[in-house]
Amino acid sequence: MYRGCGCAVPTVVRVFAAAMGLAIAAVAAEPSGFEARKARVRSLLEASDYRAALEVAQALHHDWMDDLPAYQLMAEAHLGLGDYDAANSDLQWMLDLREGKADSQGWYLVARLRESSGDVEGAIEAMRAAIQGLTPAEASSKGPGMLAYAGRLYTLQGRFETADAVLATGTPDGRVLEATTRLRIAQGKRDAAVAAARRCGAEPRCLYLLGELTGDYSAFEKAARGRTDAAREMVLFLAGPGKRAGEALELARQEASGRQDIGTLDALAVALMANGKQEEAQVAMRKALASGTRDPEVLRHASEMGVTAP
């Protein structure tokens, strides 16, 4: 392969190897700095600051090309931004590096990507692998959230008994109680849904569901004001029962300027419709549906706007 190259290729190889050795040594010498950068990405993701999270995650990836958590962090940021093709690429690289396998967090992200494309059964399959792959150390921190998400997926499929059984095994924190509330609503058990929602504490998304059930959104509005992780629910509230359509559209456009995920586009479409901008609303809704989502709330909004899912 290198015939006729003389010593040039070996020299290049030695230089490359030396550079890689320096990079590895630098990371090994400062593991706390590398881990601190990952922690920074996770903090940004929790705050729904997906653009900033992606920038830090991509810098991590540049410094350490084969680091699996960096691929996962980039994938999670891309999912938050609504760039599903890029998330798919990140996760495929992760699976290639692990020879078709993934850890618990990896399978969880695969599940979220599959759900976004409407493949709920595939998402459930990935969540089974995610939950089975939880280590004892991860079970208390990640377990409830994963069980809540699995319960949501089973609810979407109409497999209510399975959803109930899954959610019953999780610590009843805000995430599990929100999923339980959604399950009870799907089952037509209003009183049980109200009871579950009231146990959520100050979790804004759960309080939004409580408002939908009771007509009293005061607790939701107080808890959600200024919370980026509840922006979608705030837009829907302002555009609907809050009767502040102009404020809803301002917030929706602000959110959509930074991210184009399904939920954000759906909320933008609802806000546009509430302001009499039907054509713009339909354009935004078609973008929301383009990935193939089967989210029942999004599909209901689309139906109300006269937009048919592809």
Print pLDDT tens along the chain (310 aa).
323 333 333 333 333 333 334 344 444 434 458 889 999 999 999 989 999 999 999 999 998 888 889 999 999 999 999 999 999 999 999 998 887 778 999 999 999 999 999 999 999 999 999 999 898 888 888 889 999 999 999 999 999 999 999 999 878 889 999 999 999 999 999 999 999 999 988 899 999 999 999 999 999 999 998 888 899 999 999 999 999 999 999 999 999 999 999 999 999 999 999 999 999 999 999 999 999 999 999 999 999 999 998 8
Q: From 118, 80, 78, 81, select the one nearest 94 (Cα to Cα).
A: 78
Distance CA 274, CA 269 (A): 9
Tell me if 219 sits within 8 A of 203, measured CB to CB: no
How many helices (H) and strands (E) in the chain? 18, 0
Q: Phi first, then psi: what are they for 295, rounded to 5°? A: -60, 120
Distance CA 188, CA 194 (A): 11
Distance CA 252, CA 238 (A): 10
Rg from Cα positions in the chain? 22
Reported pTM: 0.85
All structural domains of the chain: 226-305 (1.25.40.10)
Exposed / middle / buried, residue 52 (Cβ in 10 Å: 0-12, 13-18, 19+): middle
